[in-house]
Structure 1
Amino acid sequence: MSNTSDPRSGASEEAVEKTPDSIAEGVDEDIVESNRRLYVGWHWLVVAALAILYSGFHLFSLNVYPMETWSFRIVHIAGALVLGYALYAGSRFADTEGTDRSPAWLAWASYALLIPAIYALIQVFLMNQTISGGAMRIDPQIETWHFGYPLLLATVGGILLAWSYRQVREKLSPADLVLMVCAVASAGYLLVVFNTPLRASTGTSFAPVGITWAAISGSLLILELTRRVAGLALVSISAIFLLYVFAGPYLPGFLGYPGLSLNRFFSQVYTDTGILGPTTAVSSTYIILFIIFAAFLQASKVGDYFVNFAFAAAGRARGGPAKVAIFASGLMGMINGTSAGNVVSTGSLTIPLMKKVGYPGRSAGAIEAAASTGGQIMPPIMGAGAFIMAEVTGIPYTEIAVAALIPAILYFASIYFMVDFEAARKGMRGMNKDEIPQFRRLVKQVYLFAPIIILIAALFMGYSVIRAGTLATASAAVVSWISPNKMGPAAILRALQLAGVMAIQIIAVCACAGLIVGVISLTGVGARFSSLLLGLAGVSQLLALFFAMCISILLGMGMPTTAAYAVAASVVAPGLINIGIQPLVAHFFVFYFAVVSAITPPVALASYAAAGISGDNAMSTSVASFKIGLAAFIVPFMFFYSPAMLMEGSWMQILRVGVTATLGIVLLSATVQAWFFGPVKAWMRLVMFIGALFLIYGGIYTDIIGLAIGGALFLFQRSIHGGGAKPVTSG
């Protein structure tokens, strides 16, 4: 008896062992870009210490000892510039043997540029002593010849040399060392002058000329770092706006304006009118804080848990990995603030698994791109977009988070049904039981969601965003102590170091966006766009909304979400408000289209990142992701016609609009995938599309018509396909 039972029990134990405890590993690992340096030894210790000090400085300033606002933002940008140039190279690295390293004279030329850079920095200290000694201002000749010219020479020379300087990945380029000194010198001068009464003279003929030189150098450094960490798209748009400042007086029609001198523009652009304005205000407070929060979650491996939880919950459904991608990417994208970055972190796991169960590479990449993009509109964090919206509009953050709820549900419902109908149409299976983690095991660690729950609870209890974010960050460390990945002092320092590195891209992007916002503000081009929209609204409000959509997508192409919204909010949103649209509706409208620019051809960053993982054509993937995210292109128009979608109205209105719009999304998904409870013919797809639009529109009569169309189609499909969806799984 015992001999026959032993093999059975052994087989049973083997079967249990085959069920993986974790399918997701490495989701929380830091993504290392191709142009990021990988230091070793004392070099690594120095850069890691700088990153930890940078993160620690923000936590201390935000919670313990606040700095003066402009000074805090200047240090915030300068720290990111120093860290950015230490970590990101301006050109490709030499090969591992270093045989194609740059010639020695380029290194010596770079070291030579250290002389004017250090000289300009010394002058900052001398000027500070002069002003501290009671001087009202610095001699303009000294500012120009002893500070401005040396600083500009070092900045421009350092950028040009960095473009052609190649070195091994473990070493700092001397050209980048020059740029790090220039960043400190530029920020140092601004700190000196902006803490005197001279600060009030910015934008006038009385402004010290040194502000202009420091601002030109700072702007060039911001543009170059943005190129290194975010590509050329945002830099090119910034360059066009900067060109407009000086070419505008010569342009015809509504684009023309009187013009600004070099001194007047640059003495004002590095203030809260531009670079130190709303975008940097948000990046220096909310964004940096939530990056630190995300880093603590990564250090405690919560990202891995999110993805494993998603696999356990949805992995066995038809097309399981695709539904996992929706769930996991929504959770991760909500926190990390960049669609393309989210694709890289979660897509490296979900895309291969989607292909394994039968999705073509194109569909797998498109689903991941659309889901990761949706994370940017998912409350409560919304990829930091909610905080920028609150800063720009003055609407309380909690109102914005609540208003985003129904649109986010509609977006993810759309992707879910797109995925489900495609899986049914193609007869795809889910994952086998022995391929996914056991749900009952993962439920025991559900406490890992506690930091996010604490964050949401604190925000809705009335705590400030900074206090709520700090509590959530601290709770992530505390919760880790009852998880398998305990955070000790070393892990906390590692999280702070990771946060410092993660913050570089978004801070550079926000500062660069601030440069564009400054141009818009100082030239008045935003007002001219507003008048154009006003003229179009006289013909048709729908036409004005369509034009606003096109401009928002165009401005957002190739840009991270945060910068895309910041620019669109400055150019497009004021025009929509002027034609009578409520501020909340106008800003949500442009925010949605700024977000979905990440999956809109021809420049779709999230889709391109997904195509790189799936191995499919980038343009085909972006077209497919555009199709999957179609709801996000229709729903914003309904904000205008049905404000109840943004929680504006009675609870009965909000409930009716939410339910009928969700049904409309189901019909829209069925239209796109040509599958409802079975195959759908061309004429039925057309009728479905009309019914979907009626239901999404939100009017009482359109809802009744849409429900009638949906009910008729349901009965018709039921009669043809024998009572609903037939089981079509292939495994």
Structure 2
Amino acid sequence: MSNSPDTRPGASEEAVDKAPETIADGVDEEVVESNRRLYTGWQWLLFAALAIAYSSFHLISLNVYPMETWSFRIVHIAGALILGYGLYAGTRFAGEGDVPHSPAWLRWVSFALLVPAGYALFQVFRMQQMIADGAMRIDPAIEAWHYGYPLIFATAAAILLSWGYRQVREKLSPPDLVLMVSALAVAGYLILIFGTPLRASTGTSFAPIGISYAALAGSLLILELTRRVAGLALVIISAIFLLYVFAGPYLPGFLGYPGLSFNRFFSQVYTDAGILGPTTAVSSTYIILFIIFAAFLQASKVGDYFVNFAFAAAGRARGGPAKVSIFASGLMGMINGTSAGNVVSTGSLTIPLMKKVGYPSKSAGAIEAAASTGGQIMPPIMGAGAFIMAEITGIPYTEIAVAALIPAILYFLSVYCMVDFEAARKGMRGMRKDEIPLFSKLVKQVYLFAPIIILIAALFMGYSVIRAGTLATASAAVVSWISPHKMGIRAILKALQLAGTMAIQIIAVCACAGLIVGVISLTGVGARFSSLLLGLAGFSQLLALFFAMCISILLGMGMPTTAAYAVAASVVAPGLINIGIQPLVAHFFVFYFAVVSAITPPVALASYAAAGISGANAMGTSVASFKIGLAAFIVPFMFFYSPAMLMEGSALQILRVGLTATLGIVLLAATVQAWFFGPVKAWQRLVMLVGAIFMIYGGIYTDVAGLAIGVLMFLMQRGLRGGGGTPRTATSG
């Protein structure tokens, strides 16, 4: 569907006059999930105040009045549980379609559960008084009969009731009120006991039984909230790992282990060996801080500006909206913690426009999914996985961000070439001048990039991540005062409220991932996977890497990036390090495959979200996005063969590997799309694939051979075009 440019006199000026001020509007609007409650009146005020208080608590604790580490993390999780159960329902709302209201008796049964939950909470205050009066430990009978049993009964029963309790969207359901009280009882007891010398007894036969009951109830609360905000995939994987704790001693082969008792496991899993470990350490510091930063950017409408800027910069190129999707998703991905969330925020605008210029529904969704997934590997923020990587490896965050630069460029270049070659092959047009915002007008607001520039500058000037993130957040508010969307007190409070709401999903996911990490560390199953990889490496390191890739993708399917990486880093990365791979390379290898699990069939969350917008078949979209994001499946192997890809080596090595890998990626895209400077025949595609692999491999001789193949194919293509070949041509901007 090639369009000819308008050549009438004065057409250019006319197009300028008709050019819209903006094309993107509403990118920064909050996405309301289907199971999110929409309160009114005093309930809205209550939960808005709770969300504001939750965000403010983190800003104050991180910057002004630090709190004891374990207590801080317990409050961090408890706050997310209370907000989560207040805002997200466990089932469909009554009155939507043919869903009936729940009967009155179920309401009273639910309210009756407040008695055991409230009693357990009351016992926390009673036990606190006992310890204040000098008691060294609490009577186990009190902990069991007056705290543990009522708490677990109320929690389990309320979760079951919440699955079937249907109420209107504007009201809090009684089972969820019970779960909020249970979350308070869990947090109160753990803070109380961990504030005494009994904290040192966790994981031993001397540990108070109350810790195990609190941890069991807390684990149930985390699993149920994760189901509500992130789906069943992570919950099912967590349940399998928890089952392994008690079934492991009966399993054959390398999966078997001596076993752990109920008290020994649960008294330790809600400590820094599990739920309060690295994943929660990161979510309670870096992630929550950058969610607040993202909320401030959204409140000042920076997301709209990013997308409009992308349209002005790339909209007129052939297949323009697809290239806009790449730029916009890369920019938004830096401040958005999930691939699927990024698809929803930018794809609702870019996917319909891609279809308008000629992309099939499947391709439009696939391009958006691949681009949004790339946002998770885009420095400086890189979703949340990079912060967890820094926490686990001890490598400074700035080094990780620098190491990610070349791989991120290669990934986005690959997606760009895939899109460009497909547009050329199908003869697609770009958007007309009067369909996109004027770049000359948007460039006057380039100061809106200042918060991100300040963040990067502060990090490389040696500021801590927390201090740099706080400065960037403050600068977002200050910069808004010279923009059309000024942030006053009301807007700042709205941003804090939005941050508190946005944080629920990622905190629940990190806590749930911490539960899995706890199982891995306490049972030693991670070490057994390491020995398996070591055995495979004895035959072939490439085979070990392939196996590690499969496990990382399998663990990441259906899971958000953060949880996928945290689990894979515990299971797979130690094994890669044991076979001689550098820690940075091993963790980046795992991280990349955890990220691309979002576009890997059969369970591809980002692709499914894009298919929902484009109207295409979900599986077809995921296969197409897998093809477009193919470079992300090759780049991690490049880390292994060429550590210079991660800035490990001399400047000359880094430059050579970067340039040859870039050319290899371009050849790979041309192979996949059967187009270079014109149509490519089957035998030429095969030769180009060989050349791409040679240059991607990274050896000096393979680089020369690959470069020779690339030059030969280039000359052949140019000769074909110059000699009257018949490739289709497209109008490009």
Tell me what 1:281 maps to. Answer: 281
Task: Give yes or no for the alignment of 1:432 onto 2:404.
Answer: no
SS at match of 2:334: helix
* Equivalences for residues 172-191 of structure 1 within 5 A: 172-191=172-191
Gaps of 5+ in 1: 1-7
Give the Cα–Cα distance (whole angstroms) in 2 for the partners of residues 297 and 303 of structure 1. 7
Tell me what 1:596 maps to. Answer: 596
Question: Deviation digits for residues 301-333 of structure 1, max 9, x if unmatched?
Answer: 000000000000000000000000000001111
Tell me if structure 1 keeps the 8 A contact 2:362–2:616: yes
Give the Cα–Cα distance (whole angstroms) in 2 for the partners of residues 11 and 708 of structure 1. 45
Give the Cα–Cα distance (whole angstroms) in 1 for the partners of residues 12 and 705 of structure 2. 56
Tell me what 1:342 maps to. Answer: 342
SS at match of 1:192: helix
Tell me what 2:5 maps to. Answer: none
Tell me what 2:713 maps to. Answer: 713
Tell me what 2:4 maps to. Answer: none
Tell me if structure 2 keeps the 8 A contact 1:93–1:168: yes
- One-letter amino acid of the structure 1 residue matched with residue 227 of structure 2: R
* Equivalences for residues 493-532 of structure 1 within 5 A: 493-532=493-532
Give the Cα–Cα distance (whole angstroms) in 2 for the partners of residues 213 and 715 of structure 1. 72
Give the Cα–Cα distance (whole angstroms) in 1 for the partners of residues 529 and 598 of structure 2. 23
Cα distance, 1:10 vs structure 2: 13
Question: Which of 723, 728, 731 pairs up with 1:729?
Answer: 731
SS at match of 2:510: helix
Tell me if structure 1 keeps the 8 A contact 2:520–2:571: yes
Give the Cα–Cα distance (whole angstroms) in 1 for the partners of residues 199 and 255 of structure 2. 31
Tell me if structure 1 keeps the 8 A contact 2:427–2:728: no
Tell me what 1:563 maps to. Answer: 563
Give the Cα–Cα distance (whole angstroms) in 1 for the partners of residues 95 and 20 of structure 2. 39
Tell me if structure 1 keeps the 8 A contact 2:537–2:544: yes
More deviation in 719-728 or 255-264? 719-728
Give the Cα–Cα distance (whole angstroms) in 1 for the partners of residues 562 and 400 of structure 2. 16
Question: Deviation digits for residues 556-614 of structure 1, max 9, x if unmatched?
Answer: 00000000000000000000000000000000000000000000000000000000000
Tell me if structure 1 keeps the 8 A contact 2:312–2:437: yes
Tell me if structure 2 keeps the 8 A contact 1:556–1:594: yes
SS at match of 1:382: coil
Give the Cα–Cα distance (whole angstroms) in 2 for the partners of residues 386 and 99 of structure 1. 43
SS at match of 1:444: helix
Tell me if structure 2 keeps the 8 A contact 1:98–1:167: no
Give the Cα–Cα distance (whole angstroms) in 2 for the partners of residues 531 and 99 of structure 1. 52
Give the Cα–Cα distance (whole angstroms) in 2 for the partners of residues 37 and 73 of structure 1. 26
Tell me what 1:392 maps to. Answer: 392
Give the Cα–Cα distance (whole angstroms) in 2 for the partners of residues 95 and 615 of structure 1. 26
Task: Give yes or no for the alignment of 1:653 onto 2:660.
Answer: no
Cα distance, 1:15 vs structure 2: 5.4
Tell me if structure 1 keeps the 8 A contact 2:117–2:154: yes
- One-letter amino acid of the structure 2 residue matched with residue 246 of structure 1: F
| 1:39–1:691 distance in 2 versus 1, CA, 3 Å | same
Task: Give yes or no for the alignment of 1:168 onto 2:168.
Answer: yes
Question: Deviation digits for residues 423-456 of structure 1, max 9, x if unmatched?
Answer: 0000000000000000000000000000000000
Cα distance, 1:18 vs structure 2: 2.3
TM-score by length of 1: 0.98
Tell me what 2:72 maps to. Answer: 72
Cα distance, 1:11 vs structure 2: 11
Cα distance, 1:643 vs structure 2: 0.3
Cα distance, 1:721 vs structure 2: 1.7
Question: Deviation digits for residues 202-241 of structure 1, max 9, x if unmatched?
Answer: 0000000000000000000000000000000000000000
- One-letter amino acid of the structure 2 residue matched with residue 208 of structure 1: P
Give the Cα–Cα distance (whole angstroms) in 2 for the partners of residues 330 and 364 of structure 1. 16
Give the Cα–Cα distance (whole angstroms) in 2 for the partners of residues 156 and 567 of structure 1. 26
Question: Deviation digits for residues 70-127 of structure 1, max 9, x if unmatched?
Answer: 0000000000000000000000001159971000011001000000000000000000
SS at match of 1:217: helix
Cα distance, 1:334 vs structure 2: 1.7
Give the Cα–Cα distance (whole angstroms) in 2 for the partners of residues 10 and 596 of structure 1. 48
* Equivalences for residues 234-245 of structure 1 within 5 A: 234-245=234-245
Tell me what 2:700 maps to. Answer: 700
Tell me if structure 2 keeps the 8 A contact 1:203–1:267: yes
Gaps of 5+ in 2: 1-7
Cα distance, 1:138 vs structure 2: 0.2
- One-letter amino acid of the structure 1 residue matched with residue 180 of structure 2: M
Cα distance, 1:17 vs structure 2: 4.7
Give the Cα–Cα distance (whole angstroms) in 2 for the partners of residues 145 and 152 of structure 1. 11
Question: Deviation digits for residues 14-42 of structure 1, max 9, x if unmatched?
Answer: 75552111100000000000000000011
SS at match of 1:383: coil
Cα distance, 1:500 vs structure 2: 0.1
Tell me if structure 2 keeps the 8 A contact 1:427–1:730: no
SS at match of 2:678: coil
Cα distance, 1:13 vs structure 2: 9.1
Give the Cα–Cα distance (whole angstroms) in 1 for the partners of residues 175 and 486 of structure 2. 41
Tell me if structure 1 keeps the 8 A contact 2:425–2:728: no
- One-letter amino acid of the structure 1 residue matched with residue 44 of structure 2: W
| 1:71–1:116 distance in 2 versus 1, CA, 3 Å | same
Give the Cα–Cα distance (whole angstroms) in 2 for the partners of residues 451 and 494 of structure 1. 19
> What is the total number of aligned residue pairs between the two structures?
724
Tell me what 1:4 maps to. Answer: none
Give the Cα–Cα distance (whole angstroms) in 2 for the partners of residues 333 and 38 of structure 1. 27
| 1:646–1:9 distance in 2 versus 1, CA, 3 Å | closer
- One-letter amino acid of the structure 2 residue matched with residue 74 of structure 1: I
Cα distance, 1:728 vs structure 2: 2.1
Task: Give yes or no for the alignment of 1:579 onto 2:575.
Answer: no
Cα distance, 1:144 vs structure 2: 0.1
SS at match of 2:532: helix
* Equivalences for residues 476-491 of structure 1 within 5 A: 476-491=476-491
Tell me what 1:142 maps to. Answer: 142
Give the Cα–Cα distance (whole angstroms) in 2 for the partners of residues 256 and 523 of structure 1. 9
Cα distance, 1:729 vs structure 2: 3.0
Question: Deviation digits for residues 344-371 of structure 1, max 9, x if unmatched?
Answer: 0000000000000000000000000000
Task: Give yes or no for the alignment of 1:455 onto 2:455.
Answer: yes
TM-score by length of 2: 0.97
Tell me if structure 1 keeps the 8 A contact 2:667–2:692: yes
- One-letter amino acid of the structure 2 residue matched with residue 639 of structure 1: F
SS at match of 2:428: coil
Tell me if structure 2 keeps the 8 A contact 1:319–1:357: yes
SS at match of 2:399: helix
Give the Cα–Cα distance (whole angstroms) in 2 for the partners of residues 362 and 46 of structure 1. 43
Cα distance, 1:153 vs structure 2: 0.7
Question: Deviation digits for residues 605-628 of structure 1, max 9, x if unmatched?
Answer: 000000000000000000000000
- One-letter amino acid of the structure 1 residue matched with residue 38 of structure 2: L
Tell me if structure 1 keeps the 8 A contact 2:16–2:438: no
Give the Cα–Cα distance (whole angstroms) in 1 for the partners of residues 524 and 12 of structure 2. 74
Give the Cα–Cα distance (whole angstroms) in 2 for the partners of residues 371 and 13 of structure 1. 34
SS at match of 1:669: helix
Give the Cα–Cα distance (whole angstroms) in 2 for the partners of residues 64 and 686 of structure 1. 61
Tell me what 1:26 maps to. Answer: 26
SS at match of 1:336: coil
- One-letter amino acid of the structure 2 residue matched with residue 728 of structure 1: A
Give the Cα–Cα distance (whole angstroms) in 1 for the partners of residues 596 and 341 of structure 2. 15
Cα distance, 1:481 vs structure 2: 0.2
Tell me what 2:233 maps to. Answer: 233
Tell me what 1:544 maps to. Answer: 544
Question: Deviation digits for residues 392-442 of structure 1, max 9, x if unmatched?
Answer: 000011110000000000000000000000000000000000000000000
Give the Cα–Cα distance (whole angstroms) in 2 for the partners of residues 431 and 475 of structure 1. 34
Tell me what 1:5 maps to. Answer: none
Give the Cα–Cα distance (whole angstroms) in 2 for the partners of residues 523 and 562 of structure 1. 22
Tell me if structure 1 keeps the 8 A contact 2:430–2:732: no
SS at match of 1:203: coil
Tell me if structure 2 keeps the 8 A contact 1:325–1:347: yes
| 1:618–1:9 distance in 2 versus 1, CA, 3 Å | closer
- One-letter amino acid of the structure 2 residue matched with residue 695 of structure 1: M
